[in-house]
Structure formats: C-alpha cells, structure tokens
Amino acid sequence: MTRMALRFALAVSATFMLAACATIGPPQPPSLGLPKPPTDLRASRKGDRVNLTWTIPTMTTDRETLRSLGPTRICRGLEELNACNTPVGEIKTPTPQGKADSAPKPQASYTDTLPQQLESDDPSAFITYAAQVLNREGRAAGLSNQVHVPLARTLAPPHDFRARLVKEGVQLSWVGETVSVAPANVQYVYRVYRRVEGNNERALAGETPVGAETSFTITDSNIEWEKTYYYHAETVTLIHRANKSLEVEGDDTPEVKVFADDLFPPAVPTELQAVFSGPGQKPFIDLVWAPVTDADLAGYNVYRREEGTTTPVKLNADLIKAPAYRDENVAPQRKYFYSVSAVDLRGNESARSEEASEAVP
C-alpha cells in the first residue's frame, strides 16, 4: 500500500469512529409510567351528593402513551390539599384506548356523599376535592387540580307535591318547611321545573322564597295545550358573597305527570248592546260587546229568541271573528232577545252572555 493510500484509509477509519461516538450518549432512565395528573376536575353538588368528573389521562409525565392504569383515589379536605393521605373513595380506572385526536376524551366520575356534620350555616365554608390517578405500581405524579364545593346546608325537598289543570294552566302546590330567619347572606327558595314528555331538558316553571308559610301554590301558564308535562320541585340555597353568588340545589321531589287537555271554555262575553236602525233603509239590529281577551279565542256565536219563546237559536253559520254582528233578518212589531258566547281554538264554548233586547217598530 502506498503512503497516500494508507493516509486515506486512516482518515476514513477516523471518520467512522467519530460518527459512532456521536451516537453514544449517557444511558436514559427507564420511564416510571406515571399518569399525567388531570387538570379539568369538575364538581357539582345536589343535596348531600357531590358529583366529580374528570378526563382520564392518556399520557405519562414523560409524554409516552399510557399502557395501563391503576386505581384513582378521591381526595377530600377542609383546606387546600397537599397530599392524598386518607382518600374518601377509590375507583378502578379504565385504561384509555388509542383514539383519534378528534374523538371525545375518555371521562371518569365519582359521587361522594357529604357527612351531615360537615354541612354548615356559614356561607363561606367549603370543602376541597382532588383526584389522584395511580399507575399499576401504585405510584402517582401528584394531585389533579383542586375544586371547592360550598358546605351550605340544604333544606329537605317539599312534600305532598301536586299538579292539577286550571283554566290558566297547570297549578302546582306543595307543603314545605318554615324558615323564620335564614343565616346571614343565605336565602332559601323553592323552584319548580317542568319538562315535556320525550325530552329531558328542564325549564323553570316558577320560584318562590321559603319563609314563615308552609303551603305554596304557583301556576305555570307557559304551556301548550294537548301536551304531556312532568314537574318536580326542589329547594335551592342561595349564598351571597362579596364577589359572587353561589347556588346549591337540594333534592328533588318525585315527578308528577300532567296531560294538558284543554277542557276550559273562554270567558263569557260582557257588555252586550243591541241597537235598532230602520227609517229610510232596510231595518236591522246591530250588536256590539266587549272583546274576550283569551289567547286561544277563535270567535263568537250569536243567539236570538223572540219575545214569548224560551229557546234561543244560533244566527251565525261560521264563528264571528269581531265583537260585533248585524242582524238583518228582523220583522216589524217584534221584540228580540240576544245573547253571545265565546269559542276557543279547541271548540270549547263559554256560557252565553246576559241578554240584550231590542224592539222593531
């Protein structure tokens, strides 16, 4: 081998050695497989039950995909939590499956029951919750975000909750507690909710404060006839703080079912007047009356009888839309007695009005 060839071989060998050395680094520690702590823990309270929900982690703190998970501990304390020394609950956490980024994130939930002795009349009292997700070796990277839940006392739900149809809508009644003096910055109210059959979305039907009375009645007029509704009532504790107001819902009454079958006629027309006109023209009698203001009014019927008869006869073939009518089928030397009824969109007819009379000369 010539001297130049030897130099070239040594240079190539040195280059490979340097390249090989560049790929060698310090050994990496094995991943601990610690689940990334949840950051979206949410809490809602109803009565003595606190419902917690959060997103199940899919990655480790080393940004690796989780292959398995251990249980999740539920942590609770009267102050900020530094550790989960005494969990109040534990659930088995399902290992999330690989899903597309656009798919909904897997969720977990837990319901905790507050001990009665923790409920307070202090509007500033609260309890703190956090979740701690463990790996299969029972190790965790830390606590989730912490959420605060008011500890304000809630009243028992009303009893003897009833619903019945009235002309104005659905009348709801119940028997409740008496609260002579509520704690400072605390108010109690009863709320009634309705939902339409086949739909779980609830709508507020009415609200009334809790006080010294025990019997309550409200009427829900915001209904549509010929539909089926479900109603329930609950107590709500309103907490007034300097920076914001909070609400804590109490337990619900059982639902009551009502079919809004409109069997109620509109109001009876009033102020009926009859006036004869005849000289120089074909004789007629004009009728006018006060309009009926029912929202579902369809029109009116006009009835007439002659003096000496007792059975009125309806004069109109179709409903009269305006509160006025002209009777042109009159004869001289007769006295007529008129009455008017109102009819709604479902054909319910009111009683007839008081009679108005007029004579034809």
Residue ranges of domains in the chain, CATH in brackets:
42-150 (2.60.40), 159-259 (2.60.40.10), 270-360 (2.60.40.10)
Q: Check residue 12 and give its pLDDT.
A: 43
Q: Please tell me the distance from the alpha carbon of residue 330 to that of residue 338, in angstroms, as a whole number.
A: 12
Strand duo 297-306 + 334-344: pairing: antiparallel
The answer to whether 251 and 47 are in contact (CB under 8 A) is yes
Using the predicted structure, report yes or no on whether residue 344 has a pLDDT greater than 60: yes
Decide: 294 and 266 in contact? Cβ < 8 Å: yes
Distances (CA, A) of 72 to 7, 109, 139, 201, 282: 66, 10, 11, 32, 94
On the question of pLDDT at 29 being above 80, the answer is no
Q: Is pLDDT larger for residue 195 or for residue 103?
A: 195
Burial annotation 135-161 (CB, 10 A radius, 16+ → b, else e): beeeebbebbeebebbbbbbbebbeeb
Whether 164 and 264 have beta carbons less than 8 Å apart is answered as: no
Pairwise CA distance, residues 344 & 332, whole Å: 35
Q: How many CB atoms lie within 10 A of CB 298?
A: 16
Tens digits of residue pLDDT in 100-130: 455 678 899 999 999 999 999 898 899 999 9
Q: In this structure, are strands 49-55 and 107-113 parallel, antiparallel, or unpaired?
A: antiparallel
Cα 228 from Cα 203, distance rounded (Å): 14
Residue at token pair 């310090």: 26
Which residues have C-beta within 8 Å of that of residue 61, sequence separation ≥ 6?
Answer: 32, 34, 35, 36, 141
335 versus 33: the higher-pLDDT residue is 335
According to DSSP H, which parts of the chain are helical? Answer: 3-22
Q: What residue type is assigned to position 276 of the chain?
A: F
**pLDDT tens, position by position, 39-60:** 999 999 999 999 999 999 999 9
CA-nearest of 233, 127, 103 to 175 is 233
